[in-house]
Structure 1
Amino acid sequence: MISTAQRIRVLIADDHPVVREGLSSIIDHQSDMIVAARATTGAEAVCYCGALRPDVVLMDLSMPEMDGVEATRVIHKSCPETRIFVLTVYPGDASIAHAIQAGASAYVLKSAPVEELLAAIRTVHIE
């Protein structure tokens, strides 16, 4: 078993409870990952990142108070060591390019297989 200090700390930022809880359940079942926090808005994600310094953020693009692109920009500036994954439903969404320009490391489709998401988290964490 990996100690809590060695596990990949993941912040989930999504305004949909079902998505947050589903991602939390998936991550909590991984021996090398732990959910650091769950944010319901972009502004909350920024606050949690400043306080908790997670390794990885799973960021929804469309959230209230502050959208995912702006939250990505702020987090990337204040916590450059944190890797940010954009979560999106639409593969051709123009906001993906804006999020990458704002500092996101990559994007993952919400329709992607669970194994693909987990592999992406692990890969970006070791880079």
Structure 2
Amino acid sequence: MINTLNVTYGLVFQEILSDNGAEFAARTKPAEHPFEAMLLELGIKHRYTRPYRPQTNGKVERFWRTLDDDVIEGTTFDNLDHFANELFEYLVYYNNHRPHQALAGQTPKAFAASKTTAIQSANY
């Protein structure tokens, strides 16, 4: 994803903020964890949220709540593939068609496109 954003939109990351989950953080040496090794290789600083403080990672926590409300709660999935397909369809909707209050009613796609255009204009 980081490389895709860089290649497609010219976005360069200086640092990434994540929680302390095992998918992001090594318990021993950072270079031994695939995510942390990638960040080291790309020269991106890895910052962590404070443990047990969901407000420091509020946007991600809010997304999980929205996902739970819109997709997961009350739904029975036949198998992992069914869940993955539903999740994929929802993410397409969420990013391309669903207006977001925090983005003044824009979709994330429209918001990102406007920022990319502004960044490109500033670089010329």
With the length of structure 2 as denominator, give the TM-score of the two structures: 0.31
Whichever structure has more strand as a proportion of its residues is 1
